[in-house]
Amino acid sequence: MATDTEVKTKERSPVVVVMGHVDHGKTSLLDYIRKTNITAKEAGGITQSVGAYEIMHNAKRITFIDTPGHEAFSKMRSRGARVADLAVLVVAADDGVKPQTKEAIAILKETKTPFVVAINKIDKNNSDIERVKNELLQAEVLLEGYGGGVSFQQVSAKTGEGVNDLLDHLLLAAEVENLTYDPAAPAQGIIIEAKLDRRRGNELMVILKNGVLRRGNEIGTPSVAGKVRTLENFLGETIDELSPSSPALILGFDKLPAVGEEFIVGGFGDMAPLLAKPVPKTREVKKDERGKKTVRFILKADVQGSLEALEDIISAMSDPDVEVQVMSARVGDVTDGDVKSAITTGAKILAFRVRVEKAAQVLGQANAVEVIHGEIIYELIKVVEEEIKNIKDPKPTGILDVLAVFNQKSSKQLIGGKVAEGILRTKGVFQIERGLQIVGTGRIVSLEQNKREVTQVEAGKECGLFFDSPTKIEVGDRLLAKPIA
Ligand code: GDP
């Protein structure tokens, strides 16, 4: 039996975002679902988009965020709270998995957003569903019936085939998530659009995630506060109260908040300045966590939405061994200022759809600052993943292929070989690799090239060396110089 002190939660409907590669049919699918589930009479009330709409399917509600693709990234996550509970990953049956599909998969995995796959355009002659499934498996999306739990549905956003089944899958996925809200909690949600209407003033489009929002409530985001003077549902009808996960339009604010900000009845009070999204221009170095290996990045991107998506994902990539730090994140081309920060902090620069200014190029080259370009977020995430892997298990700075063994009377063995990669230097410890196994370690006592003693030999060159190791070197072994991790 429930007592008065217990929180009585109620079921909440899912908020869904649609993602996938450009032209795979995200907009068409959102349009088809809207058109077939909202009656013409109701739709007559829609004077403008509030950035989301709600449908009924099998007597259950589903909210769709009406912005497909990249922009949805920034709407999907705000500080601490997630707008979308579920996602639809659209893949065109005639085109398969493409770069932005992979990008979407990476984002869905990083943000731990459950998703359903819609294999779209099945009405087309050249659709190849098996190929799409295989490509999804290669992209590590484990489909139901193929060893995984991700459900999928073949659809046509043109003819509508399969769309009802897709909605069934979404409701099933929502059931698994067990989404609830507390009607007694202060109403709380996320701003998905904010704009100035010349006639009506500032308009905030929001999605409610908890509590019940009422007309007259005083609400605040970390940056602005105001009173809900007018509350409208997504059909443009005036309402007195709203429950989760419905979208709504709020009038009554003097200032516009930022998209993605969270709002709560009563506002954030003293916490507001701490929570407010800092203006990107002034965001700088975050503190080092002692004792943990760190990898640092400076992020530059063409637009705020991509920058935030990139920062959110990369900041969340730290693991127990490696701390990933975003030193700064700003919109705009890579400047010499960015390169200077990279030199002092040892950071690498990730440049998403931006150029590198001339002065920055010159300074960067002179100081061996790495600037990594990317046209899709997924590419840059891969770079960060590689970097983390490399820190855990550093790449050798030099590799020698052993071609001959001349003398093995003592632990000091005389061998000959060719530098396969990097530079072979006399310093440091070397690992001895045989097949795919490390069979021992050792040090270089002396190194000779063309019968002259040297301290280093470059890739492609042959050399002779005395190598001190208890392990007997064999022809075919590789000596790997590893940086001290
Ligand atoms: P988005 O970029 O992912 O939002 O893709 P759109 O919805 O704009 O669709 C891109 C193109 O594909 C448009 O010309 C659509 O008419 C077409 N399209 C979308 N879905 C289907 C489908 O199921 N079948 C066919 N034949 N064409 C489709």
Could you tell me the distance, in angstroms and rounded to a whole number, from the CA of residue 23 to the centre of ligand 1?
6
| Strand pairing class (15-20; 60-65) | parallel
Could you tell me the distance, in angstroms and rounded to a whole number, from the CA of residue 69 to the centre of ligand 1?
13
Could you tell me the distance, in angstroms and rounded to a whole number, from the CA of residue 460 to the centre of ligand 1?
52
Kindly tell me the burial class for residue 471, based on how many C-beta atoms sit within 10 Å of its own C-beta (0-12, 13-18, 19 or more).
middle
Query: Which atom of ligand 1 is least distant from the CA of 68?
Result: 4
**Is 124's C-beta closer than 6 angstroms to any atom of ligand 1?**
yes
Query: Which atom of ligand 1 is least distant from the CA of 30?
Result: 7
**Is 162's C-beta closer than 6 angstroms to any atom of ligand 1?**
no
**Is 31's C-beta closer than 6 angstroms to any atom of ligand 1?**
no
Could you tell me the distance, in angstroms and rounded to a whole number, from the CA of residue 207 to the centre of ligand 1?
27
Could you tell me the distance, in angstroms and rounded to a whole number, from the CA of residue 84 to the centre of ligand 1?
23
* pTM of model > 0.95: no
Q: How many residues are present in the chain?
A: 485
pLDDT tens over the chain, length 485 residues: 444 455 678 999 999 999 998 899 999 999 999 988 876 555 555 545 678 899 999 999 999 988 765 555 555 554 445 788 999 999 999 999 998 898 888 888 877 889 999 999 999 999 999 999 999 999 999 999 888 899 999 999 999 999 999 999 999 999 999 999 999 999 999 888 888 888 888 999 999 999 999 999 999 887 888 999 999 998 888 999 999 999 999 999 988 887 778 898 987 665 555 444 433 332 333 334 445 688 899 999 888 778 888 888 888 888 888 889 899 999 899 999 999 889 888 899 999 989 999 889 888 888 888 999 988 887 888 889 888 888 877 778 899 999 999 988 888 999 999 999 889 998 888 999 988 788 888 999 999 999 899 999 999 999 999 999 989 999 999 999 876 54
Q: Which amino acid is at 324?
A: V
Query: Which atom of ligand 1 is least distant from the CA of 22?
Result: 2
